Amino acid sequence: MRRAIAVASTSSEDVPVGAIILGPDGSELAAAGNERELTGDPTGHAEVLAIRRAAARVGEWRLAGCTLVVTLEPCTMCAGALVLARVSTLVFGAWEPKTGAVGSLWDVVRDSRLNHRPEVYGGILESECAALLRDFFR
């Protein structure tokens, strides 16, 4: 999580969210921060970018055995993307009561109607991750 926080801290223009993808062996496959403002792309969320980069690095879209670590509870788009990418484990920091889709507002990743459900660990270094957001929005 500290690596994801460091990635989030590098953004000065966009909401400071950082995401990393770890391979099955624990090595870092990809890292990304939000790039919506930089690219003008509404799908430029840290999680989606990290998933795209990790898939490109491993050479396939399935990220089985991989872990996504992100500083903020994923939204519906990002939660859907990690399910579709078959990410095995999700670790996130701060809860997002307004748009969170991993238990706060919805629970996309645990929906039994879907064909993949990652293991989830939420609230990791929550206060540090939340502080990034509070500081940004002041």
45 is in an annotated binding site: yes
List the strands of the sheet with 67-72, edge to edge: 28-33, 18-22, 67-72, 89-94, 119-121
66 is in an annotated binding site: no
Q: Which residue has the tokens 């496959």?
A: 29
User: Contact, 39 vs 66, CB < 8 A?
Assistant: no
Q: Which residue has the tokens 């997002």?
A: 96
User: From CA 67, how far away is CA 28, in angstroms rounded?
Assistant: 9
Helix (H) or strand (E) holding 47: helix 46-58
47 an active-site residue?
yes
Question: Which one from 28, 35, 47, 119 is the annotated catalytic residue?
Answer: 47
Which amino acids are annotated as binding site, given as ranges? 45, 75, 78
Binding residues for Zn(2+): 45, 75, 78
Q: Which residues are catalytic?
A: 47
